[in-house]
C-alpha cells in the first residue's frame, strides 16, 4: 500500500478526512501544493474550494464559511501569514474554528521562496495582541502531516479557535514513499452545536459559557438562533461593553479554555535511553535529522535521549521536564539562527546546560547535531 506523496498532499488528505469542506487559497511557494490538492479533492466532492485574490481574503473567506457552520482551512507561507495575522486574531476573538497550514520558508520578508526554514515559530505563536495561546502543531513526516492535520481540525472545532499546522518547505514539498497501511483511522471531532433555543425562552447568547474554561456552544450564522458575532471586546451576548466585568471575563475565558485542555492537547514522541546524560529536543524537519543523529551517536556508544515536539504550543512543559529529569545537558536543534523555540523553553531547565544547534539556509545535518551530543 505504497504511495508517493508530499507532506503538503498529506495535510490536504488529513483535512478532507477531518471533514473539511471549505478551502480558500492563494498561491505561495512552498504551500501551493496544499491549495492544489484541496482544489482537486473538494471540487471532486462538490465541496467548496475557491481561489482568493489575496491571503487576507483567503482567511476571511474561511472564517466566514466557518461561521456559517462548515469546517474550513487555508494554507500559506511566511509572507502570506504576515497578512493573515489580523484575521487570525479575529477568528480567535470571535471563537471561530479554522485551520491554517503554514509552510515555512526562509525569511524575513519575501526571503527565499524555495528554501526551508524554521524561522516563524515565534511569529506564529505570538501573533495576537494580548498574547493568547494558539495551538501550533508541527509534523515532520508525511504520516504526521496527515495525523496532525486531522488533529488540528479536532482542536479547532473543540476549542472554537484558529489552530496552526506549522511545517516547512522540506516537509511540505519533498515527495516520499508513504505506507498507507500505516495511516491510522482517525476521526476528527465536531464542534459542539446548540441545536435549539432553551425551552424557557431565555435569550441564547452567542458566546455563552458557564465556567470560564468552557467552550461556548456554536450556532451558525443563518441558523434559527440569532448570532451576534464581533471582533471587538464583548460580553457573552456579543455586546460591546467597554471594560465591564463581563467583557474582561470573556477575554480571560479565551485563554482559559486552551490552558484547561492543555494536557489533552500536547503531543510528543519520546526516545529515551537509560543512563543518558544528554537530551536532544527538536521538531519538524529537524526532528528527523535528530533521529538519525541520535541513532548514530548510540552506535558510537553514547547514551542520549531525544524528544520530538509535535505540539510546539501550548508548550508541553511537563513532558519536557520529565524528559530532562536525569540529564545534565539539553540540546535544542532548530533551523533558525536565534534559537526561537529554545528561547521559550530554556527557562524550564534550571541548572542544566542548554546548547542550541542552529542554522539558516539549509537543513541541519546529522553531524551537526552529533557534535552537540558530547
Partner 1 sequence: MSFLVEGCAMPFCKGCGHTHVIRKLNDALVQLGLRAEDVCLTTDIGCIGLADALFATPHTVHTTHGRSTAFATGIELADSILAGSKLKNVVLIGDGGAMIGLLHLVNAALLNVDVTVLLCNNFLFGMTGGQNSAFSPLEFITPTTPKGNIIPPIDLCKVLIDAHAGVVARKLSTDKDLTQTIAQAIAHPGFAVVEIVELCTEHGTTRNELSGTAIRGILEAHGQELGLLRSGGDREEFGSIYAKKFPRQPAADRPAASAPMQPRYESALRKKIGVIVAGSAGERIQSSAGIFIESAALAGLHCTQKNDNPVTQGSGFSLAEICVSPTEIYYTGIDRPDVVICVSNEGARELGEKGLFSRLTPSTTLILDSSLEKPETAAELYRLPLRSLCGGEKAAAAALAFYLQLSKIFPFPAFDDLLKQKYKNDRGIFPDQFYAAIRNMEYVPVGAG
List contacts with partner 1 (CB under 8 A): 1-4, 21-22, 24, 43-48, 50, 52-54, 56-57, 60-70, 72, 86-87, 90, 94, 113-114, 170, 173-177, 180, 220-232, 238-240, 285, 288-289, 291-292, 362-363, 365-367
> To the nearest whole angstrom, how small is the minimum distance from the Cβ of residue 64 to partner 1?
2
CB of 237 to partner 1, least distance (A): 10
Q: How far is the CB of 66 from partner 1 (least distance, A)?
A: 8
Least Å from the CB of residue 327 to partner 1: 22
DSSP secondary structure letters along 315-339: --HHHHHHHHTT-SEEEEEESSSS-
DSSP code string of 72-141:
EEEEE-HHHHHHHHHHHHHHHHTT--EEEEEEE-B-STT-BTT------HHHHHT-STT-----EE---S
Instruction: State which residue, 82 or 225, has the beta carbon closest to partner 1.
Output: 225
Cβ closest to partner 1, residue 45 vs residue 270? 45
355's enclosing H/E stretch is strand 353-358
Run of H or E residues at 279? strand 278-282
User: Whole-angstrom Cα distance, residue 369 to residue 367?
Assistant: 5
Q: Determine the angle formed by the axes of helices 32-45 and 7-17, rounding to 10 degrees.
A: 30
What is the closest distance, in whole angstroms, from the C-beta atom of residue 367 to partner 1 in the complex? 8
Contacts of 240 (CB under 8 A, 6+ apart): 230, 232, 233, 234
Encode 48-85: b = buried (16+ Cβ within 10 Å), e = exposed: bbbebeebbbbbbbbbbbbbebbbbbbbbbbbbbbbbb
For partner 1, the closer of residues 174 and 322 by Cβ is 174
Give min distance, CB of 26 to partner 1, in A. 11
Judged by beta carbon, residue 222 or residue 264, the one nearer partner 1 is 222
Task: Report in angstroms how near the CB of residue 2 gets to partner 1 at its nearest.
Answer: 5
Q: Which is nearer to partner 1, 84 or 332 (CB)?
A: 84
Handedness of CA 212, 213, 214, 220 (dihedral sign): positive
Give the nearer residue to partner 1 in terms of CB position, either 59 or 315. Answer: 59
Dihedral of CA atoms 150, 38, 336, 316 in degrees, nearest 10, equals -10
Q: Between 113 and 344, name the residue whose CB sits nearer to partner 1.
A: 113
Amino acid at each position: 500500500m505504497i504511495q508517493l506523496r508530499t507532506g503538503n498532499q498529506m495535510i490536504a488528505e488529513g483535512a478532507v478526512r477531518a471533514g473539511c469542506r471549505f478551502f480558500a487559497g492563494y498561491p505561495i511557494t512552498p504551500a501551493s501544493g496544499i491549495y492544489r490538492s484541496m482544489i482537486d479533492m473538494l471540487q471532486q466532492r462538490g465541496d467548496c474550494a475557491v481561489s482568493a485574490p489575496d491571503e487576507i481574503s483567503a482567511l476571511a473567506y474561511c472564517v466566514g464559511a466557518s461561521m456559517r457552520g462548515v469546517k474550513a482551512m487555508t494554507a500559506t507561507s511566511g509572507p502570506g501569514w504576515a497578512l493573515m495575522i489580523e484575521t487570525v486574531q479575529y477568528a480567535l476573538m470571535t471563537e471561530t474554528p479554522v485551520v491554517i497550514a503554514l509552510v515555512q520558508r526562509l525569511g524575513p520578508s519575501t526571503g527565499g521562496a524555495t528554501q526551508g526554514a524554521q524561522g516563524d515559530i515565534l511569529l506564529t505563536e505570538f501573533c495576537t495582541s494580548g498574547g493568547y495561546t494558539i495551538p501550533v502543531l508541527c509534523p515532520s513526516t508525511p504520516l504526521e502531516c496527515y495525523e496532525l492535520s486531522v488533529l488540528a481540525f479536532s482542536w479547532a472545532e473543540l476549542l472554537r479557535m484558529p489552530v496552526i499546522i506549522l511545517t516547512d518547505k522540506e516537509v511540505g514539498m519533498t515527495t516520499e514513499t508513504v505506507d498507507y497501511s500505516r495511516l491510522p483511522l482517525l476521526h476528527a471531532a465536531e464542534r459542539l452545536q446548540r441545536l435549539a433555543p432553551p425551552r424557557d425562552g431565555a435569550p441564547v447568547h452567542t458566546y455563552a459559557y458557564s465556567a470560564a474554561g468552557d467552550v461556548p456552544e456554536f450556532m451558525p450564522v443563518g441558523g434559527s438562533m440569532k448570532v451576534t458575532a464581533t471582533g471587538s471586546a464583548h460580553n457573552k451576548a456579543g455586546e460591546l461593553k467597554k471594560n465591564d466585568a463581563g467583557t474582561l471575563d470573556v477575554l480571560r475565558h479565551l485563554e482559559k479554555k486552551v490552558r484547561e485542555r492543555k494536557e489533552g492537547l500536547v503531543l510528543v514522541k519520546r526516545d529515551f535511553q537509560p543512563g543518558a546524560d544528554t537530551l536532544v529536543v527538536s521538531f519538524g524537519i529537524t526532528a528527523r535529522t535528530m533521529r538519525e543523529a541520535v541513532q548514530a551517536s548510540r552506535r558510537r556508544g553514547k547514551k542520549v535521549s531525544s524528544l520530538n515536539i509535535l505540539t510546539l504550543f501550548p508548550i508541553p512543559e511537563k513532558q519536557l521536564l520529565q524528559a530532562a529529569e536525569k540529564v545534565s545537558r539539553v540540546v535544542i536543534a532548530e533551523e533558525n539562527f536565534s534559537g526561537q523555540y529554545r528561547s521559550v523553553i530554556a527557562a524550564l531547565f534550571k541548572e542544566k546546560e542548554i546548547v542550541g544547534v542552529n542554522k539558516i539556509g539549509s537543513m541541519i545535518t546529522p553531524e551537526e547535531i552529533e557534535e552537540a551530543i558530547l
